A and B are shown apart, each in its own frame.
Chain A
Amino acid sequence: MSVETTTESAPAPKKGTNILLGLTLLGLLLFLWLLLGLSTNAFWSPNNISNLLRQGAMTAILAVGQTFVIITAGIDLSVGAIVGFTSVIVAWLLQAGVPLWAAIILTLLMGVAIGAFHGFGIVRMGLPPFIITLATLTSLRGIGLLITNGSTISINHEGFTNFSRTDFLGVPSLFWMVILVAIPAFVFLHLSRWGRYLFAVGSNAEAARLSGVNVNRTIYLAYILSATCAAFVGLLLASRIGIGNATQAEGWELQAIASSVIGGTSLFGAVGSVHGPLLGAFILATINNGANLLNVNSFWQRIITGLLIIVIVYFDQLRRRGSR
């Protein structure tokens, strides 16, 4: 056939815009840091920076897991509750004298099980993701409170609780955990075929199915990854605060979703990356941290966060629609 393709007038392909958003967010993050560095003395102090990295680390890991689910056009509202719940589980196991390595593995497996249950509810019972994860959100908090009898379990394992305070190469261990999660997550989402399947299922599940994609397995996988990330964060939190408490991490699911969305993930599915939610999480953490340093009323922090979500997502929409 003789149809010539007009190569020279190529519209900016998707990949380019993806990187563009990443750079914009990175720019915003650096801008915030610069601004805070200029307006406060404390911001660039080593203490504050490690504090900021620790704060952001946990949301960042949750946001990466959340992003997998949102790419399949789903949502996982239970991640905050899983964090609280698994902090109880690990405290409980350690209290019962289970060795540390076993307690960690069992806690992570708990995350796998919760994620598999979400997959089961969606795939086999046909429940909407919003509903099944909302249901586990409330029940997990309830189960955790039953286990602890409404109070907290303190953790007396020195090695475990010290971990969150240690540094490695001058960077907090908690931040290294983000890298530990982000690298395999990147390989999974952007370089592996299962990553492609997540996008395909989120875009058009029927087309994916007829193309031989195991849609059910893909959905199980997304929710298991999200819940396991949350269980991992549960471990980190327990280490940081030295107790297991089912009411911890209240509202973190919304932080995770917000980070993901700020990072360019579309709630309609099929659009998202790994670096986006990471940047989103640290932007949110920076705003909280900066607001504290500047003594901004914490009520205002919430308002600012809300406005920021609107502004960033609005500009992202404008950019996407730009070619209309």
Chain B
Amino acid sequence: MSSLEELSHRHEDEAKLAESETVPRGAPILELRGLQKKYGLVEALKPATVTFLAGEIHAIVGENGAGKSTLIKLLTGVIRRTAGEVFWCGKPVQLATPTEAIKRGINAVHQEVVLCAHLSVAANMFLGDEMDRYGLMRKGAMERAAQAVLDDLGFLLPAGALLGSLTIGQQQLVATAKAAMRGIRFLIFDEPTAYLTRQESAQLFRLIRRLRDQGVTIVYISHRMEEVFELADRVSVLRDGTHVGTRLISETNDNELIALMINRTIEQIYHKEKVPIGKTIVETKGLSGPGFEDVSLTVRSGEIVGLYGLIGAGRSEFALGLYGRQPLSAGEVFWDGKKVDIRNERDAMELGIALAPESRRDQGLCLNLPIGLNINLPIFKRLSSGLVIRKGDEAANADQQIRNLSIKTPSRRVLASAMSGGNQQKIVIGKWLSHGARLFIFDEPTVGVDVGTKAEIYRLFGELLKKGAGIILISSYLPEVYELSDRLHVFRGGRLVASHDHRAASHEDVLTQAIGI
């Protein structure tokens, strides 16, 4: 028996409950009938009727704000439904609290990692379900058990490390391991690969298939069509909170799904505007700082410079260094050919650099403030006369970006925290579009963004280029950087290890260089 299975049989009562509630593989395990959720007046999920079969991988796709995460939160007891019924193994159930869902064996890896940064990996994995003896925690035993599970799953993570010291992707893997450990029968993934590197994704897929083979039902939410087709048995589509259909994966294709999702077709996602390349805007020479070393590159007007690499390769650190957030230890920066000294973010903005950072939650957004304030934050100086803000301009700019990026909100006054993941990402981008910068650094700009909006963001890139700006595009999603970059730099271990012109190298070459084998 593997350590994973051993741990998942720890609780006798749960095992008994599970035994009493079984259905054969392929029979309906979870049925939703007219399930509905309203937030105040917003109907996030219109009455939906969906059936999940035991032992299948069931993908859910839909635009940003379509209601995917809402559906998941309902199933896991995080929020309570407004109306409708849920049947588990043929019996009606409440699923009113997370505890109830977990007891039945329903578990989820949520879109935003909800774990404790100040606790160790092991402590997080056992959180709420600690091993104890006479009321005292068995720290050593938990750590060993956690490590065994991580090794068993092939995740190369130390169980003793503080969660906060891991990358977002690694934290996502910890959350997955935690879920997989709890004797699950029904496991939901909400955009799990958004922050994962390619190998990490591969590990995750192996785990998902393994769980399915053990009879676990998997729900898989993603904006990446190729993943859906690689993994899923069936796929359900949500549009504007409505369940518009379920298909067998073998009987459908990309185009049909996209058409169901957005009610129209997209000819070309990676549309790269052809803009004449102009003068050099910025040049770095031997730039070094925390997490990156000796990086020399140039960005010219009208050009997209892509930075590809595995997570932790130093691309974001380089961006933060160039932006003045991190002190530089060596090297020089030339702006329009003149040597400049960027000491802080304000110096960078003054020159004309904009940075849309990697983590929307930690760096990008003031979640408990209105969307409008978030969008305007970088440019309040321009929106005010002296110190006093011109309210009209403030509103106009916010509304314009909301329209530009089709951020799905009734008003700019809604708090950013009430937006779906992808819509939050659009706010992070929208902040910078009216800044009038000449160098835009976009760090993972399309994480969690749906296909239609992705195309729209790429079109906006084109517009920035036409205005003479240059773009640094950091992405862990190879097709994106590969197709869009005029010049593609590969990072590994904090260094720039290879550079290619547009489409000059194959996907495989780029990947090999990034991994370093």
Which A positions have Cβ atoms within 8 angstroms of B? 1-3, 5-7, 9-15, 187-188, 191-194, 196-197, 199-200, 203-204, 206-214, 268, 270-271, 322-324
Contact = CB atoms under 8 A, between A and B. Distances in A.
Interface string B182-220: 000000000000000000000000000000000000000
Contacts of B408: 3, 5
Interface string B16-44: 00000000000000000000000111110
Contact of A203 (B362, B369, B411): B369
A207 B366 contact: yes
Nearest to A12: B40
B325 A210 contact: yes
B452 A11 contact: no
Nearest to B361: A204
A118 to B, nearest CB: 22
Given A13-B414, A194-B387, A203-B369, A208 B377 contact: yes
B384 interface: yes
B421 interface: no
B346 A1 contact: no
A9 B380 contact: no
A269 to B, nearest CB: 8
Contacts of A209: 325, 345
B368 A271 contact: yes
Nearest to B264: A2
A11 B364 contact: no
Nearest to B370: A14
A212 B363 contact: no
Given A196-B373, A199-B373, A200-B377, A324 B79 contact: yes
B377 A13 contact: no
Interface residues of B, number: 52
A196 B377 contact: yes
B378 A211 contact: yes
Contact of A15 (B364, B413, B452, B456): B413
A248 B364 CA distance: 45
Contacts of B431: 211
Q: Which of B366, B378, B411, B456 has the most chain A CB atoms closer than 10 A to its own CB?
A: B366
A268 B366 CA distance: 13
B367 A9 contact: no
Nearest to B378: A211
A322 B418 CA distance: 13
Contacts of B346: 212, 214
Contacts of A212: 345-346, 349, 377-378
A323 B377 contact: no
B366 A11 contact: no
Given A11-B39, A193-B381, A211-B377, A1 B456 contact: yes
Contacts of A3: 63, 65, 406, 408, 452
Interface string B349-389: 10000010100001111111110010011101101100111
Contacts of B325: 209-210
A272 to B, nearest CB: 12
Contact of B389 (A192, A199, A213): A192
Contacts of B43: 9
Contacts of A210: 323, 325, 345, 355, 357, 363-364
B263 interface: yes
Nearest to B80: A324
13 contacts: A1-B452, A3-B452, A5-B408, A5-B409, A11-B39, A14-B415, A192-B384, A206-B363, A207-B377, A209-B345, A212-B377, A270-B368, A324-B39
A1 B40 CA distance: 26
Contacts of B414: 10-11, 13-14
B201 to A, nearest CB: 28
A193 B387 contact: yes
Contacts of A206: 362-363
A72 to B, nearest CB: 12
Nearest to B41: A9
B363 A10 contact: no
A207 B369 CA distance: 12
Contacts of B373: 196, 199-200
B236 interface: no
A13 to B, nearest CB: 3
A187 B262 CA distance: 45
Contacts of B363: 206-207, 210
B398 to A, nearest CB: 12
Given A10-B411, A13-B411, A196-B373, 7 more contacts: A11-B40, A188-B387, A204-B366, A208-B366, A208-B377, A214-B346, A270-B366
A212 B263 CA distance: 40
Interface in B255-277: 262-264
Closest 10 CB pairs of A and B: A13-B413, A203-B366, A10-B410, A1-B406, A193-B380, A11-B40, A192-B387, A211-B377, A9-B41, A211-B378
A323 B369 contact: no
B453 interface: yes
B366 A200 contact: yes
Contacts of B377: 196, 200, 207-208, 211-213
Nearest to B406: A1
A168 B398 CA distance: 44
Nearest to A201: B366
A67 to B, nearest CB: 16
A253 B418 CA distance: 34
A194 B453 CA distance: 33
B451 to A, nearest CB: 11
Given A193-B381, A193-B383, A193-B389, A207 B42 contact: no
Interface string B386-407: 0111010000000000000010
Given A207-B364, A210-B325, A200 B369 contact: yes
Contact of B367 (A6, A11, A204, A208): A204
Q: Which of A193, A196, A323 has the most chain B CB atoms closer than 10 A to its own CB?
A: A193
A193 B378 CA distance: 11
Interface in B332-353: 345-346, 349
A221 B390 CA distance: 22
Interface in B459-507: none
Nearest to B459: A1
A296 B41 CA distance: 46
A207 B376 CA distance: 12
A213 B376 CA distance: 11
Contact of A191 (B42, B63, B388, B418): B388
B243 to A, nearest CB: 18
Contact of A199 (B65, B365, B369, B418): B369
A270 B366 CA distance: 9
Nearest to A191: B388
A297 B42 CA distance: 50
B387 A9 contact: no
A314 B452 CA distance: 43
Contacts of A188: 387
Nearest to B39: A323
A191 B406 CA distance: 28
Nearest to B428: A207
Contacts of B456: 1
A11 B42 contact: yes
Nearest to A7: B410
